[in-house]
């Protein structure tokens, strides 16, 4: 009787199929910047720089006090007679003499009206009346032969005025409140004016 066939050692071993490879990611777009590179190239924040508001006008530089004083003096005469802001530099010879305080507070402190008729310049009393009080540092004012028939009310607003010369005008009376309005006044010249009656002034004020 034939021997039963022994199991073959050459039997082929059944293998599992290989796993499918994972799909590769799509290539990155070369034109799109990465988040890290965009952050690196961004401008650093500037905390001290104020935001720019579109449509906001840039404020003009403030006018200096001296230039403003000279512009006021220029209004006393026909245009062009006094050229601001250089009225302290003899820019208006024959019209008005201007004295300015030294630096740092360079302001008009004294005015003397010269012979504006000889210089072919017209003095404008209404403008003088309206604007002279704005010369807040004025200490000496000599405005003779200007045709005043009263002491200009604008002059009475110059509380720091020390010397007032209104000679050779047509002034007939002095305001009763002049001493109170000009507390720093030391002298007043009214010679050549047809003043009627006594002039009531404190003993501290010398009247010529």
pLDDT for res 146: 87
Query: Full-prediction pTM beyond 0.85?
Result: no
H/E element holding 108?
strand 108-113
Place of tokens 């935001």: 51
Pairwise pLDDT comparison (84 vs 57), residue with the higher score: 84
Output DSSP code: residue 156. G
Local structure of residue 178 (DSSP, 8 states): H
Residue 19: asked if its preceding bond is cis (omega within 30°), the reply is no
C-beta separation of 156 from 181 below 8 A: yes
Residue with tokens 């009080």: 133
Categorize the per-residue pLDDT at 40 as very low, low, confident or very high, splitting at 50, 70 and 90. Answer: low
Distance (Å, whole) CA 109 – CA 42: 57
Structure tokens at 84: 């601001």
* The pLDDT value given to residue 110: 93
150-199 pLDDT tens trace: 999 899 999 999 999 999 999 999 998 999 999 999 999 999 999 988 77
125-138 pLDDT tens trace? 899 999 999 999 99
Burial string for 19-55 (b: 16+ CB within 10 Å, else e) reads eeeeeeeeeeeeeeeeeeeeeeeeeeeeeeeeeeeee
156 close to 139: Cβ distance less than 8 angstroms: no
Q: Sketch out the chain's domains with CATH numbers.
A: 65-207 (3.80.10)
- Top mean-pLDDT range of 39-43, 86-90, 145-149, 196-200: 145-149
Position of tokens 């302001």?
A: 107
Contact 32, 95 (CB under 8 A): no
Model confidence band, residue 63 (pLDDT cutoffs 50, 70, 90): low
* Average pLDDT estimate for 82-102: 72
CA-based nearest residue to 159, from 130, 179, 142, 184: 184
Closest to 74 (Cα-Cα) out of 141, 127, 143, 115: 127
């Amino acid at each position: 009787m034939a021997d039963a066939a022994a199991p073959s050692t050459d039997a082929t071993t059944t293998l599992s199929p290989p796993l499918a490879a994972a799909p590769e990611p799509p290539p990155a777009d070369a034109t799109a910047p990465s988040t890290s590179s965009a952050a690196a190239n961004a401008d650093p924040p500037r905390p001290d720089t104020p935001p720019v508001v579109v449509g906001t006008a840039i404020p003009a530089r403030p006018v200096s006090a001296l230039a403003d004083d000279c512009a006021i003096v220029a209004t006393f005469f026909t245009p062009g007679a006094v050229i601001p802001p250089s009225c302290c530099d003899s820019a208006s010879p024959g019209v008005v003499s201007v004295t300015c305080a030294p630096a740092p507070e360079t302001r008009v402190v004294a005015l003397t009206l010269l012979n504006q008729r000889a210089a072919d310049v017209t003095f404008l009393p209404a403008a003088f009346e309206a604007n002279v009080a704005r010369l807040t540092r004025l200490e000496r004012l000599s405005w003779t032969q200007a045709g005043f028939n009263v002491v200009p009310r604008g002059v009475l607003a110059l509380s720091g005025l020390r010397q007032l010369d209104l000679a050779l005008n047509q002034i007939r009376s002095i305001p009763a409140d002049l001493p109170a309005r000009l507390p720093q006044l030391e002298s007043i010249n009214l010679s050549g004016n047809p003043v009627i009656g006594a002039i009531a002034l404190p003993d501290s004020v010398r009247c010529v």
